[in-house]
Amino acid sequence: MLNKLLNYTQIYNLWINKGSTKEAAVELTLQQMDALEMIIEDDVSWKRLLEITDRGRRNDAWLASDWPSGFDELVLCVPLCKLVDWNCAACTIGSRQENNSCSHDYSLFGYIGELAVAGRRAELIAQIENARKMLYNENYSWNIHKCELEIRV
């Protein structure tokens, strides 16, 4: 089940092969979140994810390229990051979370990492759904202070 979540090189190359477009970046980010959700919902894979997260974060804070040796939430959104060449203010997500990087602990994707570290399974599933909502609807923003979705007016 863990192999459903692609590592940095795999997801990046897939994005390149799909034309390096915004549409492909969003599609592949959604695919990565689907894979993570399947891992979380499977009891055996969930326990393995917790072990990987715990072990990896003790040894290396930057793990986006380490999967499956370590887990970093940025492995979910690599195509979005590459689309804007790591310029978070230009990103469809970063621009709607006060221009913060997704590596920020309380950003949309950063919070996924925090919930994984804490082993908060149900909240993690809910956070994946929040990320989907933001990707599908640009009228949502992410409040990094409250860790919640908001409708932009």
Task: Please state the pTM of the whole predicted model.
Answer: 0.93
Half-sphere exposure (CA, 13 Å, Cβ side) for 132?
14
Q: At what angle do helices 121-136 and 110-118 cross, to 10 degrees?
A: 170
d(C-alpha 87, C-alpha 103), whole Å = 12
Contact, 5 vs 67, CB < 8 A?
A: yes
- Look at residue 110 and tell me whether its pLDDT is greater than 80: yes
Give 148's strand partners. 143
Q: Which amino acid is at 98?
A: E
Distance CA 2, CA 57 (A): 18
pLDDT value of position 31: 98
121: amino acid identity, one letter: R
Say if residues 129 and 107 touch (Cβ distance below 8 Å).
no
Residues 106-114 have a mean pLDDT of 95
Tokens coding 133: 């909502």
What band does 72 get if pLDDT is binned at 50, 70 and 90?
confident
Tokens of 77: 């959104």
> Three-state SS for 149?
strand
So what's the pLDDT on residue 70? 84
